[in-house]
Amino acid sequence: MPRMNMIQALNSALDIKLATDPDTLIFGEDVGYFGGVFRVTEGLQQKHGLTRCFDAPISEGGIVATAIGMGAYGLRPIIEIQFADYILPAYDQLVSEAARLRYRSNGEFWCPITVRSPYGGGIFGGQTHSQSPEAIFAHVTGLKTIIPSNPYDAKGLLLAAIEEDDPVIFLEPKRIYNGPFDGHYDKPLKTWAEHPAGEVPVGHYTVPLGSAAIVRPGTEVTVLAYGTMVHVSVAAIKETGIDAELVDLRSIVPLDIDTIVASVKKTGRCVIVHEASRYGGFGAELSALIQERCFYHLRAPIERVCGWDTPYPHAFEWDYFPGPARVGKALRHCAEALA
């Protein structure tokens, strides 16, 4: 099986859809001729034609608005917002229109759009190239939000997202586009070539939305993570020697609640890890759900390791980013807590 990094895997998914579904098209800033600032759409315009993959004006609201209109017509647009930090001009379109079109029209119109956007930190991106806005979409009824953590999932989840008849926010952790990053910024970079999830089938397959993956089975603590934090958690588990069960959520909405609950009931302990700031973050929802469903199984307070409640800073990159040391500390704390 060929090796792909996440960019190549995403490109492969898009290539397959353009080749097999004439109702798909891709547009966004710099995605056409140039192939995208992260190369995810490289070669697609040349291969599939100008109208299948084209550049858009610098207008996130306009990109999402026109995609919704295309969806209402019967197309299946795949659009790119260059950085998730810049999705906010389109927030009204996503919340007031895309998310509600089916509901408010009693199913007369719907919105089968996929909104791809690189997100997350760890790249010295500063305040507007590092944010993790998943919680502001999780709170919107009618939107699905997906976050892959490796090339295999990225391709399968993107194909599933495009085939969905509901609007999907597809957040791509740009820190791990080229290789798994475990938070050890002072060690040599790894590539996907050495990682088992870097093996990606050439053809079509899907990873269903709403299904979490157990990355590492364990008995002592459940760790819930997604995106780059999956790899940080792998490192933290290894370094602490705690027999933790690591669950990669993959899907924020719909959430695979059954896998989460089964794991926490087994371990009795839970650490939630995300890059986004803590207050009102998606970890709060996870924590509440687990408390409601696993209360009598919990042997320690649920812990959250998150970005601080500050804007994402530049010089303080590794003070802000929840690295393996912070995750490891929470793991030990949680594992050692006595009920």
Separation of alpha carbons 77 and 66, rounded Å: 9
Classify residue 275 by its DSSP letter.
E
Residue 139 binds another protein (CB under 8 A)? no
Separation of alpha carbons 54 and 49, rounded Å: 9
Residue 70 binds another protein (CB under 8 A)? yes
Active site residue 172: no
**Most distant CA atoms of the chain, gap in Å:** 62
Q: Are the C-beta atoms of 282 and 270 separated by less than 8 Å?
A: no
The binder of another protein chosen from 10, 14, 25, 135 (CB under 8 A): 25
- Alpha carbon of 141 to those of 72, 90, 144, 226: distances in Å? 19, 16, 8, 21
Instruction: State phi, psi for 179 to the nearest 5 degrees.
Output: -175, 155
Give the sign of the dihedral formed by CA 146, CA 172, CA 286, CA 182. Answer: positive
Q: Which stretch binds another protein (CB under 8 A): 37-45, 96-104, 171-179, 265-273?
A: 96-104
Q: Which stretch binds another protein (CB under 8 A): 13-21, 104-112, 177-185, 199-207?
A: 104-112
The binder of another protein chosen from 21, 34, 105, 124 (CB under 8 A): 105
The binder of another protein chosen from 19, 37, 65, 214 (CB under 8 A): 65
Site string for another protein, 34-63 (x = CB under 8 A): -----------------x----xx-x-xx-
Closest CB 288 distance from another protein, rounded Å: 12
Residue given tokens 């490109």 in the structure block: 11
Judged by CB, which is closer to another protein: 271, or 294?
A: 294
Q: Are the C-beta atoms of 134 and 145 separated by less than 8 Å?
A: yes
Active site residue 129: yes
> Which of 166, 147, 256 shows the shortest CA–CA distance to 210?
256
Q: Which stretch binds another protein (CB under 8 A): 164-172, 177-185, 262-270, 316-324?
A: 164-172
Residue 68 binds another protein (CB under 8 A)? yes
Tokens describing residue 234: 């792998």
Judged by CB, which is closer to another protein: 169, or 237?
A: 169
Classify residue 40 by its DSSP letter.
T
Judged by CB, which is closer to another protein: 129, or 144?
A: 144
Site string for another protein, 232-271 (x = CB under 8 A): ---------------------xxx-x--------------
The binder of another protein chosen from 102, 129, 175, 304 (CB under 8 A): 102
Opening angle at CA 163, ends 133 and 284, nearest 5: 25
Q: Are the C-beta atoms of 179 and 190 separated by less than 8 Å?
A: yes
The binder of another protein chosen from 100, 184, 297, 329 (CB under 8 A): 100
Rg (CA), the chain: 19
The C-alpha torsion from 61 through 137 and 144 to 124, rounded to 10°, is 80
Judged by CB, which is closer to another protein: 255, or 330?
A: 255
In total, the chain counts a number of residues equal to 339
Residue 309 binds another protein (CB under 8 A)? no
User: Would you please indicate which residues are annotated as catalytic (active-site) residues?
Assistant: 60, 129
Which residues form the interface with another protein (CB under 8 A)?
25, 51, 56-57, 59, 61-62, 65-75, 77, 89, 92-93, 96-97, 100-110, 141-142, 144, 164-166, 210, 253-255, 257
